[in-house]
Structure 1
Amino acid sequence: MRASTYFIRYWQLYALLVLPLIYFAIFKYGPMYGIQIAFKEFNFFQGIHGSEWIGFDAFREVFQNQEFYKTLRNTLMLNFLDLLVSFPAPLFLAIMLYELKSKAFRKVSQTILYVPHFISWVIIGGIVYQVFGTQSGMINNMITALGFDAVPFLTEKTHWLFTYLATGVWQSAGWGTILYLAALTGINGELFEAADMDGANRLQRIWYITLPSLKTTIVTLLIINLGHIMTIGFERPYVIGNLAVRDYSDVLSTFVYRVGMESGQYTLATVVGLFQAVVGLIFVLGANYASKKLADESIL
């Protein structure tokens, strides 16, 4: 079948691509024009085109900045720990929900788990301070009422780190189960029936049927998550962080905010953003190559 004939026959499918393509063109590819700011002494009044070229001078300035390396370390640390803790959580939740016999209870549980994803990080930050605050937090009020010392969940670096990770799991795990549940519904039910006839228990069904069936989904999501190992959202560390834990909470996104928005050094901020994008691309390609060689699974 010729390409033109195929297009005419299935034009509705191609029409569905129009809005996503427009979105990517405007919000993903359009802003790439601003990458050249990293190589110019950007002047707000002269604009991108009128600003003077400075080559790689801004890159040298950023890479000589000790504050940049501290935020880079924190970004990698928080993202790596987030990957260890938050990545498997949706998988476990999806399997547990899938194994529930009561459909009504499963639907109610899914709805409750999805809700945190739709709450703004500003609101979540307020909840975190109300629950984990040292002086007036609900948990510490209970601890001190029992005669114990208050736990510095938000003012001591190690405790803050555990609070940060736990909050991330609570906010994202429920929403992350959607893809796994979609993959689970595609498993042939006859496999489970055959396993039951062979005397397999629930854990054995999960280990030998459920997890292997999810391998492609797990690998794909892992590669995508590795691609974001250098990027970190601004809201979460900014809202939950404070001066007492700045050695851990100060990350590349907050560094870009201080340098770009507060100090007006747009060139340096663009350099950091470009650095994150390039390293993220390297991580994606490297993870995809390793996955293809070791597990024969890849997204490219």
Structure 2
Amino acid sequence: MLGRNFRRQWPLHLMIVPGIIIVLIYSYWPMIGIAMAFQKFEPFKGLFGSRWVGLDNFRFVFALPETGQIIWNTVYIAFMKIAAGLVVPITVALLLNEVRSELVKRGVQTLIYLPHFLSWVILGGIFIDILSPSTGIANQILGWFGIDPIFFLGSNSWFPYTLVATDTWKEFGFSTIVYLAALTAINPSLYEAAMIDGASRWKQTWHITLPGMLPIIILLSTLSLGNVLNAGFDQVFNLYSPMVYESGDILDTFIYRIGMQGMQYGVGTAVGLFKSVVSLLFIAVSYTLAYRFANYRIF
């Protein structure tokens, strides 16, 4: 039976071979470098010549006074991004679903989807100009209402929320399209029956639309747990400064500073390995929940 299926599907298996090769080369082969987490790695001695130090790198990292704050920043910012990344796209999808003009609906979808394709290198410069406390248009608008300038990118009180707001603006268009696609799967006859029974648009949304979207909402919610330690290196790196390390420094930027700039490669690898192990556990939990509550499975 297995041999017969393979003979029938061998073109499909052949098509995935290049992808498997790329994954092996760029994802699995570099994992040999995990050994650096247990070494006092010295580049001129190489991976096999550096001295082994066991768990010393991990002890050093967790003994640093700022490590706890960095982990908290990462989890706090990531959870806020996950929450905003669910609430905003769902709300916008429900609003767009009520628009009757297909031209307007498709135009709005295109406009909100475009920022997804922009790099944070570009957006970082744009937001630095927009949010500048002296010349930024955001503070100029606040000044019209008598509000003092806010240093969005230099205040520990504002920086985490600025990260969440700008990330949500950039990415919510992609998720909105996913939820709009889920709305197309809802049987139109349910709305017709509700209208005959006298249900208002709000009651139709509450009792038909949201329940119809619930499987994809549960699926995306559970799968997002795997990103709980991914607060967005590209964004933070292009927007933060030493003034906001207290509230904006995350694991990825900490790894960059201590590993690349500080040239403590073993310590940086140890932090990265810690993050990867925790993320793996969350991903395993998220897929288990996705299978249980949304009947989602990869294989």
Which residue of 2 is the match for residue 214 of structure 1? 213
Using the size of structure 2 for normalisation, the TM-score is 0.90
Deviations 1:254-280 (A, max 9, x none): 110111111111111111111111111
Q: Distance in 2 between matches of 1:19 and 1:187?
A: 38
SS of match in other structure, 1:149: coil
Q: How does 1:1-300 map to 2 (within 5 A)?
A: 2-144=1-143, 148-289=147-288, 295=293, 297=295, 299=297
For 1:73, the aligned partner's letter is W
Q: Kindly state the Cα deviation for residue 74 of structure 1 after the two structures are TM-superposed.
A: 0.8
Deviations 1:114-170 (A, max 9, x none): 111111112111121221110111122344466542223222222223322210110
Q: Distance in 2 between matches of 1:15 and 1:200?
A: 53
Q: Distance in 1 between matches of 2:215 and 2:23?
A: 26
SS of match in other structure, 1:157: coil
What is the aligned-residue RMSD (CA, Å)?
Answer: 2.3
User: Could you list the runs of 5+ residues in structure 2 that have no partner in the other structure?
Assistant: none
For 1:256, the aligned partner's letter is I
SS of match in other structure, 1:66: coil
The count of corresponding residues between Structure 1 and Structure 2 is 298
SS of match in other structure, 2:157: helix
Contact 1:132 1:139 in 2 (8 A): yes
Contact 2:75 2:231 in 1 (8 A): no
Q: Distance in 1 between matches of 2:146 and 2:218?
A: 48
SS of match in other structure, 1:230: coil
Q: Distance in 1 between matches of 2:261 and 2:129?
A: 29
* Alignment CA distance shift 1:19-1:200 (3 Å): farther
Contact 1:220 1:299 in 2 (8 A): no
For 2:159, the aligned partner's letter is W
User: Could you list the runs of 5+ residues in structure 1 that have no partner in the other structure?
Assistant: none
For 1:206, the aligned partner's letter is T
Deviates more, 1:188-197 or 1:254-263: 188-197
Q: Kindly state the Cα deviation for residue 171 of structure 1 after the two structures are TM-superposed.
A: 0.4
Deviations 1:173-204 (A, max 9, x none): 00122322232222233333333333322222
Identity %: 36
* Alignment CA distance shift 1:128-1:206 (3 Å): same
Contact 1:219 1:297 in 2 (8 A): no
